[in-house]
Amino acid sequence: MTSSIGERILCAALLRKLVPVEEAVRHVRSGDVLAVSGFTKAGEPKAFLPALARYLADLPGARISVYSGASLSEEVEAPLAPFIARRGPYMASTASRRLIHAGKMDYADAHLSHFARGLMYGFYGDIDLAVVEVSRIRPDGSVVLSASVGVSAEALARARAVVLEVNTAIPDFTGMHDIVLPPAPPTIGWPVPVTGVRDRVGLPYVQLDPAKVVAVVESRQPDFPVAFRAGGATCDAIAEHVLAFLGECRDRFGWHHWVPPLQSGVGNIANAVIAGLARSPFQRLHFWTEVFQEGLLDVVADRDRFAGASASAVSLADTDPTRVEALIRAARGDLVLRPMWMSNNPEIIARLHVVAMNTPLEVDIYGHANSTHVGGSLIVNGLGGSGDFFRNAYLSVAHTPSVRTLRDGRTVSCVLPTVSHVDHTEHDIKCIVTEHGYATTFGIRSPRARAREIIDRCAHPHFRPLLHDYVTMAGEGDEPRLLAMDRLEGWWRDYDAACAAFPREPRGTPSGA
């Protein structure tokens, strides 16, 4: 599987710039802004960034800014985190999270489609260095990306200088990408002529001026695997209710055996939903999503069921290069990897009638959702693309367990009177799903009526009486809120007592959350 570096670098001028990674990192100065490849642990610079961390450790007070498409792996980000002054637009790193909460790292969350375009607009200032993993350098200096696109094309276009990391341990991804840069003012954007998930409107490589490249390094590290486990009873029950909702929509809206293009977030619930779809009555499934993940492999294997997929990254639990190459062979022509400004493009999401399915941390009885902050202040990760998809989707499904057990042993409700941080308003969500059922929110009904249905169908039975009490106590109004502090504090005391008194599951019962 491993190729020689000479087989992957076909441009003589760039082959001459091949240097040890320890030399390449010296192009970074304290204060620099780096835009790097990587999207949900796929296609990140796995040689350069750890080497950069070692280099910066010898420079007293060195600080840099790092922008990526989506999350980098902990193996890559954790060593570098102490030297990052600014980070955006998405991270899922424990090391960075601690520094953000301590006020030692500035972090700015953003919709992924907005960030990619903002990078081209210059909203985030100049980019000093782009560091991008590639699987091939073409004779003219243009590059074939690897398992992700993210903001790699924008980084290469905007950066003052470029370091290319050629990964010889991974398959050659030639032919898998569809690369188009977002237009920037004063150029007027044209409608992106995509009407199907397999449509291509750009180039299968990124054009690049070889003169901008200051160094080329070799990597022999496959992508780090994405954690994956069977979801358990809770995830399976949520998946059943998602499929029941889709079945209701099929009958109500006349889909028959067709289902619109699907977007699915990452995680165990998302994989359980995809596994359920692989056994469902729906045929010729097609996906317009951000991440092609582990659960989709079974769908691809069924050629009568898989009709194609578009994503910005391939993120798998087993990243053995032979396995990845087998996927490329099986899905070639049917799987397209795009920049995230396209994968998350509101115009395309709306045009294709995408059904968006994502997992927030919590929802409230009126339909608002929190995807990012525990307790309203402690960030778990960025918003990612859930906002791009929820707001513009034909149908938007927020699926979450009804309860979660915290590290202190308390079990809390994921259906609350009000979420502690609002990422998605009730206007963005069409259906809320837990293991107990689903509630639709797109009818012309008052928030009170929505609240009663969400409580009765989605909240855990242990917490339903308290939630109904809240609506009664909140009194009049279109979307009643309990504002009297003495009564509000009393309700939360009762809620805390209910969390402490939550019945323990029998030993051996899978929670699946």
**Residue 290 designated active-site:** yes
Q: Are 428 and 390 in contact (CB under 8 A)?
A: yes
In angstroms, rounded to a whole number, what is the distance separating the alpha carbons of residues 249 and 240? 14
Structure tokens at 494: 């009762």
Question: Which is nearest to 437 in space by CA: 404, 395, 480, 397?
Answer: 397
Identify how many contiguous H helices and E strands the chain contains and give both numbers: 18, 25
What's the sign of the alpha-carbon dihedral 487, 488, 494, 497?
negative
CA angle, corner 379, sides to 490 and 435, nearest 5?
65
For tokens 């929110």, what's the residue?
Answer: 441
DSSP 344-396: T-HHHHHHTT-EEEE--SEEETTS-EESSEETTTEE-S--TTHHHHHHH-SEE
Q: SS3 letters for 401-456?
A: CCEEECCCCCEEECEECCCCCCCECCCCCCEEEECCEEEECCCCCCHHHHHHHHHH
In angstroms, rounded to a whole number, what is the distance separating the alpha carbons of residues 294 and 279? 16
Q: Which of 154, 165, 290, 426 is catalytic?
A: 290
Would you tell me how many other CB atoms lie within 10 Å of the CB of residue 290? 32
Q: Are 201 and 181 in contact (CB under 8 A)?
A: no
Give alpha helix (H) positions in 68-128.
Answer: 74-80, 94-101, 112-121
What interhelical angle do 268-278 and 232-253 show, nearest 10? 50
Residues with catalytic annotation? 290
